[in-house]
Structures are given as structure tokens and as C-alpha cells.
Structure 1
Amino acid sequence: MRNDPAGRYALAQEFYRHGERSRRRYGHAELSFTRWSLARGVLAADSFDQPGSAWWRAVSERLLRDKTEAHLLSAGAGGTASARSVEHWVDFIRRPEPGRWYRAHNASIVAGYLRNEELAASEQQVERFMMNVALLRVLFTHAMLVRPRLALGRLAVLGPPLADPRRRTVQMFLDLGRSFPIEYPVAAPIENTILDEHALARMLDYGLIAPRLPAVYDFSAASLEQPRLRELLDDGVPAYAWPHSDRPIWYFGNTGPHLRVIARASGTRLLWQRSPLAPSRLRSRR
């Protein structure tokens, strides 16, 4: 399926059609994200008239390989799991449960991120911004389910039902199609892309998630047994394939009273409150 984008989706979909009926409801967010990736064209092979992204394909492939290997092992194939992430998927297949799904899914995604940093570095800035947002959201949503107090503070009671992967509400957090352009490569400057993000998405990213990123990455590093995950933050700011000199971009969208409202409601405060560069100066750097 490596050079067949539609085949990738079919394989992802097939995984959730195997086994007991209870397993079939876990694919909502993953399949929605894959459809968005297909629509953007990032999964297109290099041989296509409009090639996609080597990085997005590599991360997609890690997830698909892990799930396929786990399915084969669970079905009686010989051998042992090639990675810890595969073991997590085997655990999920044998006993489908929301926390096990997040651990398996995020273990594969994080492994894909860490293995392909060089590919990520070759992407344009706006694409790397989206990569970081995709990562922080999926880590945060895992924490919402199993560590709701850490993730949501006073709003902890809302965490498990909203983050349950069997419910479509989880797509509000994991579906980037509602936040970012459906094109590749993105033509608009990164500042426009940030400001065009839906108000609810910005409220989640900046008002709810950003103040808790160090704790969320610590939790995920321990849960997924990936200590390097902590290195993907730069003093609380996302830093996957992201140089320190570009930190100011992360302050750009952190404006508006609605962000302060959600931060206070959950018992925290905004961290990225001021940008070293004013918006006008950021635009001048396009």
C-alpha cells in the first residue's frame, strides 16, 4: 500500500472491521484524520503528478505497519513483536478498551515522529507547525481520558466522555481538518494560517492545552516509555523540528478574551501571553 493512498485508508479501515464488534467503534478519529490527509494529498507517492509529503507518509506507514503486525500476531502468526508499540496494539486487540487504544495509537505516532525528524525538517514552517499541533492534541486527548485532572483541572469530569475514542466527540480534538487548510503544500503564510484557525480550535490549543503541555508531555513520555518526548518542548513551547529562533510564532495566535476565560475556568492561566515580535513584524518576515 506504500504507493497507494486509497489502499492505505482501506487497510486502516479493515483493521477496525476485524474481531469483535466492540473493536469497530474505535476508528472514528483515526479514519477521519486519514480522510483529511488523503484530501490534502500528503499521502501521494513521489511518482504522482503532485507528490505528497515523505514525512506524513512515513508516520502513516508506522501506524499501519504496527497495527497490521499486531493483527497477524493476534491471529496466530509466529514470531515476536518488533517494537513496543506493536505490543501495545496486541494488548488492545486482546482487550479493546479506550485507554489501551490511546496507548497503542500514540506509541505508534510518537515512534513515527521520533524516527522521521530529518524528513520533518525538510518541510516548510507552516507544515511543521501543523505537525506539532497534531502531536500535542493527540497527547492531550489521551491525558483527558486517563488523567483528566492533569489535563482539564476543574473541568476534569468532562475528560473521559469527551475523549472516549468510541465517541465522535473526540474528533473535535483530533480532526485538524476543522483547523487548517485542506491543501499541500499550504500556500498561505503561517501567520494567516494561525489566524484563520477556527475560534474553538484556538481556544482549545491556546487556552486549554498550552498551559498544561509540560505536564502532558511528561505523562506521555512515562506512559509510552519514550523519554525523548520531553525534548519536543522548548521551555513549554512545541519544538518538534522547530528551531529556538522561531519560538515567537507560537505566541502569535494567543490573543482574545475567550482564551483567558477557558484557562480560568479550568483553573490555570495563559502561558504564551506576549510575543517578542509584534504581529506586524511577524508579517514582515514572510
Structure 2
Amino acid sequence: MSGCQMWVTQSSAHAESLLHFHSAFGGSIIVSDMGRGLQKPCIRWVVSGGRARSVAAALVQVSVVKETQLEVAASWPSCLSIRKEMAGSLKIMKREPQCSSRSTCSWDYLAGFFDAEGSIHVKARCAAIQLEVGQKFENVLKIIHSFLIQECPGTGIRIHQQTSFTRLIVSNRETCQFILRRLLSSGLSTKRPVALLALGVSMSNHSHSRAAIASLVGNQARYSRLDEEGIQRAKQITSIKSRQRKELSSGRLELVDQLHQQVETLKQDHALGNARARFGMLRHDIRWLLLRGAVQMGSLVTTSTAAPSNN
């Protein structure tokens, strides 16, 4: 590692933040990944040398997760042997990032963090929204969680820990709306169009809003997102299960068993319908890629520069 270099990588479809970095700190914007299949190309903002040290010194004042890494970058040594030692320290810091004891959160910080790491969901079965932020390391989520508990008037803010991943989830509608409005006023950029759509979700525009949001976000959930028929099936299952609970509380066990069998049958139909929808979308996407000149390379499909076939 001969010098100090910093970079930020984003999908080409949502690269507004890179323009902000370039405007504030200079540097270069280059292609990072050409994309493959439905994976969109990525571009990268890069800054090197003395400018990188200056950028690190500026960002360390507002960082929570990478504060210690930025401190190292800001004081990057000229001695080669010390550089090698510091490079090893940086690798450890990246594997096990630690938030400083003086780290604090703000709405401005959260707006930038949510732009990069957050997601906005509209529930399939009702006109409800949910906010999520996922991280491999939970320290920063605990800081954000404490901040939101103090700042938000509502409830429904929790941390859900999994084996190797942690999510901060906000499920209360009023709390979600409050947070989105504060994020918008604090400079939310990349996810601004999705946030505005989510704030306007109602029963009358539920399906339209979900479709509009799906067109603005990435392809990660493309094959698991319910279509309109899937939403109706899910609502029917939810309705019958609700009735089943009421009948159980009334002691009508025979009717409860009948409803249980009905739910199980509907679940099987639901799974089959979802599979049909996924494979139908997959076939559509494969044909679309082939028309654009996609070729198979090993187990992957990539897009070539060849003209689409006329066959």
C-alpha cells in the first residue's frame, strides 16, 4: 500500500451521493463494475494521496462507524514500514469496527446513513410501511436506536438480531412517517422519491404505490415480491386466520378445524402461485437479457456488446 486512498461505491442507478462527494472533495468518478445480468453497473468516487488524508480529517468529525479508520487515514505515514503496520491495523478495524465512546447520532447523520444502508417497505397485505437498516455489526444500530427512542414520539422501534446480521426495524406507521419526514428535511437524497411515495400510501393507492416503489429500488427482492394476485391470496389467508382465532376464543373447535384445513389449502395454492409468478418473471428477464445480447459465461449470464439476435 504505497499511499492513502478512499472510495465510495454505488449502483449507477442511485449514484447521487457520489456527486455530492465529488462536489465537496474533488477526486474522480470511475466505473467499478460493469454489471452482470440484472445486477446494475456500479460506479466509484475515488480520492488519493494528500487529498485523501484531508478528506479523512474532515469526515472523522462526523463519523460513527469508521472514526478510527479515518483517523489512521488522516495521519497516513510516509515511512514504508509504518505504512505496512498501519495497513494491517486497518484490516483489523474493517473486520471488527468499533464505535467511539463519544460517537453521537443526529438527523443529518441518519439521513446519510439511511440513504446508504436503509430500506423502505410497503406491506403486501395492508397500507402499512416499515423502515429497516441492516448491518453486520450492531454497534452503530444501537447508537441509532437510542437516538430514535429519544427523538420519536411513537413506538415500534426495535433491534432484531440474527446469526450474522442485525436489523433495526421501525414498524409503527406514525413513527415511520415521523422519521421519514425528519430524514427528508435533513437531506435524504437517494431514497427521497421512495420516501415521498411511502408517506402517501393509503388503501386506495396501495397497489399502485407498491408498484411505483418497486420500480425505484434495486432488484434484490424482485423475485420474492408478491404480485397483485399474490397480495390478494395473502389477504385471504390473513382474513381466515383472523376468523379462526375468533372462533377458537368462542370454543367452536369443529369450525376451527375446518378453517385450519382451509388455511393449509390456501397456503399451498399461495406457494404454487408465487412460484409460477417468480418463474414467469425469470423467463421474462432472461428473454429481455438475451435480446440485449447477453451471453452465458459458466454459471452466470453477462451482457455483451453484440447486437440482439434477429432469431
TM-score after normalising by structure 1? 0.31
More helix by share: 1
Higher RCO, 1 vs 2 (CA within 8 Å, ≥6 residues apart): 1
Superposition TM-score, scaled by structure 2 size:
0.30
Larger radius of gyration: 2
